Structure 1
Amino acid sequence: MARALQQGSKQQLKVAYVVLPSVLSVSGLVCILVDAVGMGVGMLVGAVTFPFVMVWSLRRIAKRQLTHLCVPTVLRMTDDGYEYRTDQTTTTMRWSLFGRVVTGPEFWLFFVNRQCVAFLPRRAFNSEQQAEFDRFLASRQNPGLT
């Protein structure tokens, strides 16, 4: 589950992961060129450390969430959606809710807008069921959102 959260977060934050260090780098170089060396060096250091800090903070967040996710679970899937049930909660989600589905080697990641809101582990299904579910999702996927 930790890997699913990490993969979902990477997909969700892909732009920030690339854009922010790039902006900090360019801004740092501009500051150095206009003799604001201290600020420029600070921005360059921020550009280098940002990816490491981001990964560290995502791991901390995931660790806190895992205590709620790593419990015995019953999953019931239908043509309309799926139900995720534990002793503490029951969540029902319709397939139409998801604007994008990312199929990876370990998980299906489900997105609403740009946020990963759900995942299913592929290992919970045999290869025939995985192929059937991939076809099922492909038939419902909005081609404009992939």
Structure 2
Amino acid sequence: MNIGDGGITVSYEPTPDEALRAHFYGLKEGLLSTYIVVAGALVIAAFYCFYIERPEAVVVTLALAVAVPIAAISSARGNLRSATAHMCVPTTLRLTADGLECRTDRFTITMLWSAYSNVENAREFWVLYVGGFPSGFILKRAYNAEQLAQIEGLLAPYEQAVIPEWRRRGQRP
């Protein structure tokens, strides 16, 4: 893949919603597993309460099985919104065959592609993972069609996870 001698450099400013969506997308699988376990444990507790003939406890645990994941998702979005606020500033991103450099007036980060544990190609962005956790994203709207094709070819070898097509489109079947 030839991305050019100087790489591809663009300047853009991610919106708070874009930063939130990119990081929530990256955390979604882990959060979903956790919520399923918590809701499942509460449903099992409801069956136990039914078995010991405590109908009021059955109602409470079933209500919690529904409410806890909803509240946790809302809380996670709020926490992510504040955690990603530093990304919503004018940014210059330079992609080369070796890695990327992200520059703002607050910070500069340079990372080799080999430092990422995975790159996930979503509809709006590429999510970059370090140690299995999302650490950044490359916003596709900042690039023209030719650049997107070059970047896709560059990042393809780093996409280690098998991503279902529905997740790439950002919707469930």
Q: Which deviates further from its counterpart, 60-69 or 87-96? A: 60-69
1:51 is matched with 69
37-46 vs 97-106, which moves further: 37-46
Distance of 2:49 and 2:114 partners within structure 1: 48
User: TM-score, normalization: structure 2?
Assistant: 0.72
Q: Is the 1:12–1:116 Cα contact (8 Å) retained in structure 2?
A: no
CA positional deviation for 1:39: 4.2
Q: Which residue of 2 aligns with 1:85?
A: 103
* Larger relative contact order, structure 1 or 2 (CA cutoff 8 Å, min sep 6): 2
Give the C-alpha shift of residue 74 in structure 1: 0.9
Aligned match of 2:133: 115
Higher helix share: 1
Instruction: Could you tell me which runs of 5 or more consecutive residues in structure 1 were left unpaired when the two chains were aligned.
Output: none
Matches within 5 A, 1:1-146: 1-142=19-160, 145-146=161-162
Percent of aligned pairs with the same residue?
34
The SS at the match of 1:13 is: helix
Q: Deviations over 1:37-80 (max 9, x none)?
A: 45443332221012211221122112313431111111111222
Quick one: which amino acid aligns to residue 48 of structure 1?
Answer: V
Deviation at 1:133, TM superposition (A): 1.5
Q: CA deviation at 1:113?
A: 3.2
**What CA distance in whole angstroms lies between the structure 2 residues aligned with 1:12 and 1:94?**
25
Q: Which moved more, 1:99-108 or 1:15-24?
A: 15-24
Structure 1 residue 83: Cα displacement: 1.1
**2:28 partner amino acid:** K
Kindly provide the CA deviation profile for residues 73-125 of structure 1, in whole angstroms up to 9, marking residues without a partner as x. Answer: 11111222111111111112221122222211111111223311111111111
Distance 2:54 2:131 in 1: 39
Distance 1:16 1:104 in 2: 22
Aligned 8 A contact 2:120 2:126 in 1: yes
Maintained 8 Å contact 1:12/1:114 = no
| Cα contact 1:32–1:41 (8 A) shared by 2 | no
* Aligned length in residues: 144
Unaligned runs of 5+ in 2: 1-18, 163-173
Shift, 1:35, TM fit: 3.0
